[in-house]
Amino acid sequence: MRKAAAISTGLHVAVLLFAVLSFSSKTFEVTPAESLPVDLINDKDFSELTKGAKDAPKVEQPKPLIEKLDPPKPAEEIAPKLTEKKELKVEKEKTAEPKPDPIADKLKKQDEPKQEAKAEPQPMPPKKPPQKQQPKFDADKIAALLDKRDPQRNAATGAELNSTPSLGTATGNAAQLSASELDALRRRLMALWNPPVGLQDAERYQVIIRIKFKRDGTLAVGPQVITSGSGVRYEAMRDSAVRAVFVGQPYTMLRPEHYEIWKEIDFTFDTSQMFHDIPTR
């Protein structure tokens, strides 16, 4: 037994020594990873991600529009030639003066002090500083003249520039119609919608109306009611919805660039949504 105990002790010491030597912990070398930018989006944003496919043909990006305008031409300068010519003429007159003419001489002598007095201011018109001439008023250019912007500016980055969709996800189904546009439409229609007041059990009614638009945001055809129902209250409710659609046009919040998307919209008028905001007692 003593022998066995000695063997066991020796074994343990050996194992411990090995462990101490091999168990020296190495510090984790953390390679600094580049931080990933993360966007937080809500459910609605996620469900309306634009659809995209990696192997889709490349869309030619339309070149940015640049409004090219003629820069207003600098005003024509007044030629200072005119005044110089006048000067020359004056000198010629002066040189011509001493021609012998006795009568004139006599006359001159009499008049000399007068003439002298007269002639002195005459010799040259006072030198006018070369005055800048006002640009000629041109009615055709009035818009350009009123334009205070830099003539070499780029066209404003509008919807045209951004018409190419981003890559998006493979599951996205929304095209380009942004939520804000739809929300604006919804707010407009909800504001205009005036459901019949005496509606009981208002929660039950739901009317879906198909609205077809023209490009300018007005209705192409009258609103079609898709849902069906019967009863006086339903009809009153349906008519109020149709009225709201009529009243609301033109729907300018829908941008014409995306006309293909919003030219036909099924809109749901739901009394439960309508009355939702009213606190129930």
- Kindly list the residues in this chain that would bind another protein in the complex (CB under 8 A): 1, 3-5, 7-9, 11-12, 16, 19-20, 23-25, 27
24's CB contacts (< 8 A; 6+ apart) are: none
CB nearer another protein, residue 5 or residue 40 = 5
DSSP reduced 3-state for 267: strand
Amino acid identity at 168: G
Q: Which residue has the tokens 């909800």?
A: 190
Give the HSE-up count for residue 170: Cα atoms under 13 Å, Cβ half-sphere.
Answer: 4
- Let me know: does 193 contact 74? Beta carbons within 8 Å: no
The distance of closest approach from Cβ of residue 28 to another protein in the complex, given in angstroms and rounded to an integer, is: 9
The distance of closest approach from Cβ of residue 5 to another protein in the complex, given in angstroms and rounded to an integer, is: 4
Give the HSE-up count for residue 195: Cα atoms under 13 Å, Cβ half-sphere.
Answer: 24
CB nearer another protein, residue 19 or residue 191 = 19
CB nearer another protein, residue 11 or residue 156 = 11
CB nearer another protein, residue 16 or residue 156 = 16
The distance of closest approach from Cβ of residue 36 to another protein in the complex, given in angstroms and rounded to an integer, is: 22
* DSSP assignment letter at 50: B
The distance of closest approach from Cβ of residue 31 to another protein in the complex, given in angstroms and rounded to an integer, is: 17
Burial of residue 234 (CB within 10 Å: 0-12, 13-18, 19+) is middle
Task: Report which secondary-structure segment, H or E, holds 12.
Answer: helix 2-22
The distance of closest approach from Cβ of residue 30 to another protein in the complex, given in angstroms and rounded to an integer, is: 11
The distance of closest approach from Cβ of residue 34 to another protein in the complex, given in angstroms and rounded to an integer, is: 21
* DSSP assignment letter at 111: H
Q: Which residue has the tokens 């012998």?
A: 100
Burial of residue 195 (CB within 10 Å: 0-12, 13-18, 19+) is buried
- Let me know: does 269 contact 204? Beta carbons within 8 Å: no
Task: Report which secondary-structure segment, H or E, holds 208.
Answer: strand 206-212
CB nearer another protein, residue 20 or residue 40 = 20
The distance of closest approach from Cβ of residue 25 to another protein in the complex, given in angstroms and rounded to an integer, is: 4
CB nearer another protein, residue 16 or residue 82 = 16
Q: Which residue has the tokens 């070398």?
A: 29
CB nearer another protein, residue 10 or residue 64 = 10
